[in-house]
Amino acid sequence: MSAVVYAAALVFGLSCVVLLRRPGTAVRTPPVLSACAAILLGSLVLVCAAPLTLATVNDLTGVPNFGAPLTYGMLSAYSCSLVVLLVVWRGGPRARVRRLVRATIVAYALLVAALVVLFVLADARTERLTDLDTYYARTPYLREMILLYLAGHTAATVSMCVMCLKWGREVTGVLRTGLRLILVGCLLDTIGFQAAKYTAVAARIAGHDLDFLSTYVAPPMASLGALTCSAGFVLPRLLPTAVAHWRGLGDYRRLAPLWALLRFVPTAPKPAASWWRSPRERLQWREVSIHDALLALAPYFDDRVRVAALDAALRAGHGAHQARLAAEAAMLTDAARRAANREAPLDRPSGYRLRATEVSGTGGLVELAQAMSRPPPAPAGTTVR
């Protein structure tokens, strides 16, 4: 069980790395900083709750079950961080936000102090690593400690569920998806972990035995809920970047035919060979190189080639836009051939501007590159050099 809990804690904690890709910016962004604090505290809760950790803490302190108030206190801190995150998300006047944050921290600090006092007053001499909640459910002071930490955590997760439901109606796209994942994670925690704990403890107090809910159902549900929440925290920040890189990689590959034609132009800068460059950086290098090459080839543009190719494309049934791209591809191919053969520029080069140089973004270059792989049909009885 400890290995599974540690793995969940590691994955949960790693999601913080995604949010802190730019630590300087994240520190100045309260929502990101609050989310990171919640993730780190949630990871520590999972680590502290592992039976191996509990046994180690008990051995080091020499106090049986000392790991219990440590875990419950850490869980209360995690609950506090969730409430603080809600306050920051809601926003409002800075003074009001600070006041609510301080009030939340004070309230949960008092809760943690109460947990410690109740543990000190209780008689918990028998070490229990996996079933302490149910084993001591009828023990004075420990019973109150168990119910108190559960109540504090329930208040935080229910508030988070309400906030996600309310905010989810007001936003769209990937942010809404992230909120839904956080909602699912909090529901798994509330229903799978807390409800199981409440039921098992109540059964023990009433003289019945439903310990399996607390021992075998609650821990994996808590881990699953934490992982789902981490996905909700990370997705709105990670997905747009991942999609942008994926699109950049696609455009980079679609520009390959055009780059293959122009890469030998002497004035075209060659991208630095760096395997760690992101797809967007590689695309930017290729864009700059292609534009510089097109500028260098402008003295070789021959309107006769372009007009002949345009006429052939129109006769072949292409639309005006596709015919223009086919004509530009033919003229560019001819210009690249002349430059590669070290021919002299035309005495009267064309003043024509390629569409790819008139539109912003990569779309124009991609269309031209695709036209390169579809050479236009030659006009009947005409030979295009």
For the chain (385 residues), the mean pLDDT of every run of 10, in chain order, is: 77 73 58 82 90 93 92 94 87 89 95 95 91 93 95 93 87 86 93 95 94 92 88 79 82 88 71 63 84 88 89 88 89 88 81 83 87 63 44
Alpha helices in the chain (DSSP H): 2-19, 23-27, 30-49, 51-61, 67-90, 94-121, 132-135, 142-168, 173-187, 195-205, 211-212, 218-254, 256-262, 279-297, 303-315, 320-340, 363-372
What pLDDT is stored for residue 28 in this prediction? Answer: 58
Q: Which fold has domain 2-243?
A: Rhopdopsin 7-helix transmembrane proteins (1.20.1070)
CA distance 210 to 195: 12
According to the model, what pLDDT value does residue 380 have? 44
For residue 381 the two structure tokens come to 């009885």
Question: Which pTM was predicted?
Answer: 0.70
Q: What is the pLDDT of residue 20?
A: 67
Rounded to an integer, what distance in angstroms lies between the CA atom of residue 187 and that of residue 226? 10
| pLDDT for 266 | 65
CA-CA distances (angstroms) from residue 179 to 21, 147, 163, 173, 186? 21, 29, 9, 10, 10
First to last CA, the chain: 74
The domains of the chain are located at 2-243, 262-372
Question: Largest Cα–Cα distance of the chain, in whole Å?
Answer: 104
